[in-house]
């Protein structure tokens, strides 16, 4: 049976492992240390650095596919693995557009996908020109390495903007800016594509962020116009095909009063797809694995009218009540709540787990998932 | 988070592992060798023998609960672990009734649960007396150690019966006999019970055997009278409570023209419960873990009108088509089929995996699951 090597040791790799076991695959992981979320549970753990070519070569040896739980593997190393005959999925020529946001913006524009006005920013002059162009509605971003709100800034004056740009450029950070979008809500259109070109889309999800971090996902996005939903899925399919993406592609979107704009791309299982574990025939983790080994994709039919996912993000402090007792209290109150934990120690704001609830009633699913997650974080009900 | 030690290295332990990972538990397994189904995938594997007290003590050390994927651990060793302060679930005083079928028959009779007439058999005289009592409709069983049709005989004449008894008694096999039941079909009533006494029942399932091995399970049992279904669940709940079972209890039943009789008990996840992985809010593997660490139990609501499970049992020969290609062919034809494989090499009749299919149509679910399993076994469609 196929060997899948996962580079990256977080919860996404961890949840790929459970899907891989059920499929009978032989998974292995490249982890920074034995205590990492994924390293705790894989049977085959290789300790190493994803920025080290020798470590990448070692984990790739004999693997049917090499894939990722993050976007931070040097693109040139991925190319070198490909040149050595390794099946790296997604391929580096696709992954590039999840790694470099300026390249992504340029490519999406070529493809006719809707993106906000944007511009590379390398100087105070660039900053002031762009500030004027968008009427001061500026979102400044690092081209590379950002995630969960890191590498994103919203300067509220020209002075703050230029100061920030000078500081970051001085530190060697490559930047671009785009118009800050006055969105009504955020959506996520997720698809998977395998090497043979088969593509399947999940229902479009509404996502709710806190401090730049996904906190809630609701499937399907409540009240989303069917035509707009189909358009979002259409963008995602088009992007997956045009960029030759393999595996899961998450297209994060801004919904404004009268349009939808592409925000970010991720080429791996995504936080807004965790609901699929308990609300869909095929989870995003299983689908990603099927895609990267070029197996046919599974059904993306939901198994319930609504599924809500709420992240358990570390709170301002860690309550004295042990986690095992918090979980037990949630299970007692809500037998329908599906608790997923990542084996991570407490840190404020850290993604430590999530709760999925499927229900015929959106209101009830949201209420239960929010209350359950709140208790796991705070050891008290809302 | 709780540490759960699983004794036994088969597919049941393997599938407990995926559930344990999602719950954030720390699972470990006692396996006979590194290549065993469960040993391939656990992060924490201890090689040893479940019949060796020192190996049992070693795996139990520091575990919040010790549980099993089979019934073959010596009952006296389980008692010794309990005496040493280890939380063994199910407890040996309960497990006894899954280990010794004659004790089980006696206890079930005391409880008023419906069982066929039975008698211990230690001699040719016992055999001829029992043969006469049941009009020659004899099922002879080994008291201990049987599974999947092993340890069960259907002698078709008094002469064959007495010869068999003399041979087995001579080999030191402890025996009992019961009346062979003219059943219409087999049912399975599964429940889980935690140490605090909470009990939850799944829908009653129809199971279909081939050569004494479970081949198909259909949830819920088609056409089962609601009153009879409730009675089956009632037996299972009563048995779980009266025997002080913790974890999953499977009560295998014979349905006759006008009654239901208890066939076998298993105190662990069971083949007839595999459908819960893809057709129920809480899988039997998750539920078993919750029960043995005394967490509240999860909802046993189905997520589809029907779910069918078909085992992929090794066929008469192993086709030349590699398993990965068979799986891919099934996935292509049936995107809704959920394929589970156990990492086991081919052997005729061996349980190598199963396929679950959930659907609104029973006919379609059965058709797809049968065809998919048939292909995985034979590399050709039915």
pLDDT digits (tens, 9 = 90+) for A259-293: 999 999 999 999 999 999 999 999 999 999 999 99
Element holding B181 (H helix, E strand): none
Confidence at residue B147, expressed as pLDDT on a 0 to 100 scale: 74
Detail the residues of A annotated as belonging to a binding site for ATP: 101, 141, 178-181, 186, 263-264
Encode burial over A52-64: b for 16+ CB neighbours within 10 A, e otherwise. eeebbeebbeebb
Beta strands A205-210 and A185-193: pairing type? antiparallel
CA distances (Å), origin B366, targets A123, A281, B231, B279, B307? 66, 17, 26, 14, 8
Which of the residues A275, A295, A350 would you substitute to probe the B interface, choosing the one with the greatest number of B C-beta atoms within 10 Å?
A295
- Which residue on chain B is closest to A34 by alpha carbon? B43
Confidence at residue A185, expressed as pLDDT on a 0 to 100 scale: 97
Q: Is the pLDDT score of A146 beyond 90? A: no
CB B148 within 8 A of CB B350: no
| Mean pLDDT calculated for residue range A225-254 | 97
Confidence at residue A4, expressed as pLDDT on a 0 to 100 scale: 98
Min Cα distance B56 → chain A (Å) is: 21
DSSP state of B262: E
Detail the residues of B annotated as belonging to a binding site for ATP: 101, 141, 178-181, 186, 263-264
Q: Which two tokens stand for residue A248?
A: 């899961």
Min Cα distance B358 → chain A (Å) is: 9
CA distances (Å), origin A92, targets A32, A75, A97, A213? 22, 6, 9, 26
- Which residue on chain B is closest to A15 by alpha carbon? B22
Among the partner residues B17, B277, B299, nearest to A336 by beta-carbon distance: B299
DSSP state of B171: T
Please count the CA atoms within 13 angstroms of the CA of B302 that sit on its side-chain side. 21
| Mean pLDDT calculated for residue range A70-98 | 96
Confidence at residue B148, expressed as pLDDT on a 0 to 100 scale: 74
CB A3 within 8 A of CB A23: no
Which of the residues B296, B342, B351 would you substitute to probe the A interface, choosing the one with the greatest number of A C-beta atoms within 10 Å?
B296
Among the partner residues B26, B45, B324, nearest to A2 by beta-carbon distance: B324
Integer Cα distance of B287 and B297 in angstroms: 6
Residues of B in contact with A12 (CB under 8 A): none
Min Cα distance B196 → chain A (Å) is: 12
Integer Cα distance of B271 and B147 in angstroms: 12
* B295/A331 CB distance under 8 A: yes
Detail the residues of B annotated as belonging to a binding site: 101, 141, 178-181, 186, 263-264
Which of the residues B9, B13, B21 would you substitute to probe the A interface, choosing the one with the greatest number of A C-beta atoms within 10 Å?
B21
Residues of A in contact with B278 (CB under 8 A): 281
- Which DSSP string do the residues of B123-151 spell out, in sequence order? SHHHHHHHHHHTTT-EEEEESSS-BTTBT
- Which residue on chain B is closest to A303 by alpha carbon? B303
pLDDT in tens, chain B (382 residues): 999 999 999 999 999 999 999 999 999 999 999 999 999 999 999 999 999 999 999 999 999 999 999 999 999 999 999 999 999 999 999 999 999 999 999 999 999 999 999 999 999 999 999 999 999 999 999 999 877 778 999 999 999 999 999 999 999 999 999 999 999 999 999 999 999 999 999 999 999 999 889 999 999 999 999 999 999 999 999 999 999 999 999 999 999 999 999 999 999 999 999 999 999 999 999 999 999 999 999 999 999 999 999 999 999 999 999 999 999 999 999 999 999 999 999 999 999 999 999 999 999 999 999 999 999 999 999 9
Checking ipTM against 0.90, whether it exceeds it is yes
Tell me which residue of B217, B157, B207 sits closest to B185, measured CA to CA: B207
* B328/A2 CB distance under 8 A: no
Min Cα distance B74 → chain A (Å) is: 28
Q: Which two tokens stand for residue B356?
A: 């679950």
Confidence at residue A150, expressed as pLDDT on a 0 to 100 scale: 86
Q: Is the pLDDT score of A126 beyond 90? A: yes
Min Cα distance A220 → chain B (Å) is: 17
| Mean pLDDT calculated for residue range A109-132 | 96
Confidence at residue A262, expressed as pLDDT on a 0 to 100 scale: 96
* A295/B40 CB distance under 8 A: no
Confidence at residue A186, expressed as pLDDT on a 0 to 100 scale: 98
Min Cα distance B153 → chain A (Å) is: 34
Residues of B in contact with A21 (CB under 8 A): 14, 17-18, 41
CA distances (Å), origin A155, targets A150, A213, A352? 14, 19, 30
Integer Cα distance of B207 and B271 in angstroms: 9
Confidence at residue B78, expressed as pLDDT on a 0 to 100 scale: 97
Which residue segments constitute the domains of chain A, with CATH numbers given?
A: 3-88 (3.40.50.20), 117-179 (3.30.1490.20), 190-303 (3.30.470.20), 306-382 (3.30.470.20)
* B1/A341 CB distance under 8 A: yes
Q: Which residues pair with B153 in a beta bridge?
A: B140
Q: Which two tokens stand for residue A108?
A: 């999406």
DSSP state of A259: -
Integer Cα distance of A230 and A46 in angstroms: 42
* A335/B42 CB distance under 8 A: no
Which of the residues A281, A336, A360 would you substitute to probe the B interface, choosing the one with the greatest number of B C-beta atoms within 10 Å?
A281
DSSP state of A280: B
Integer Cα distance of A235 and A108 in angstroms: 10
Integer Cα distance of A161 and A320 in angstroms: 42
The CB density around residue A322, as the number of other CB atoms within 10 Å, is 11
Confidence of residue A202 (pLDDT cuts 50, 70, 90): very high
């Amino acid at each position: 049976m196929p060997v899948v090597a996962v580079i990256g040791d977080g919860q996404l790799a961890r949840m790929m492992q459970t899907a891989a076991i059920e499929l009978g695959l032989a998974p292995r992981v490249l982890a920074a240390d034995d205590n990492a979320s994924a390293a705790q549970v894989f049977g085959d753990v290789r300790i190493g650095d994803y920025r080290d070519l020798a470590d990448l070569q070692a984990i790739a040896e004999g693997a049917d596919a090499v894939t990722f739980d993050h976007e931070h593997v040097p693109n040139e190393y991925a190319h070198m693995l490909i040149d050595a005959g390794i099946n790296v999925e997604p391929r580096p020529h696709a992954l590039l557009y999840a790694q470099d946001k300026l390249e992504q913006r340029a490519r999406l524009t070529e493809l006719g996908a809707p993106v906000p006005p944007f511009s590379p920013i390398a100087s105070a002059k660039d900053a002031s020109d762009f500030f004027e162009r968008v009427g001061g509605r500026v979102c400044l971003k690092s081209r590379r390495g950002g995630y969960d709100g890191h590498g994103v800034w919203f300067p509220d004056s020209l002075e703050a903007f230029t100061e920030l740009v000078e500081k970051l450029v001085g530190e060697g950070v490559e930047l671009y800016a785009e118009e800050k979008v006055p969105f009504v809500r955020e959506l996520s259109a997720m698809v998977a594509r395998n090497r043979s070109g088969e593509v399947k889309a999940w229902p479009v999800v509404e996502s709710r962020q806190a401090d730049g971090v996904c906190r809630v996902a609701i499937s399907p996005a409540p009240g989303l116009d069917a035509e707009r939903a189909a358009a979002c899925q259409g963008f995602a399919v088009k992007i997956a095909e045009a960029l030759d993406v393999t595996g899961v592609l998450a297209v994060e979107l801004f919904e404004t009063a009268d349009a939808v704009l592409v925000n970010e791309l991720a080429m791996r299982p995504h936080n807004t797809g965790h609901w699929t574990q308990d609300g869909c025939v095929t989870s995003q983790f299983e689908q990603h694995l099927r895609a990267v080994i070029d197996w046919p994709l599974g059904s993306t039919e939901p198994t319930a009218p609504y599924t809500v996912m709420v992240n358990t993000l570390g709170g301002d402090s860690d309550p004295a009540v042990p986690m095992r007792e918090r979980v037990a209290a949630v299970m007692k109150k809500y037998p329908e709540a599906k608790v997923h934990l990542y084996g991570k120690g407490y840190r404020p704001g850290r993604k430590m787990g999530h709760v999925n609830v499927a229900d015929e009633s959106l209101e009830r699913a949201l209420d239960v998932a929010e209350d359950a997650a709140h208790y796991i974080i705070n050891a008290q009900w809302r």
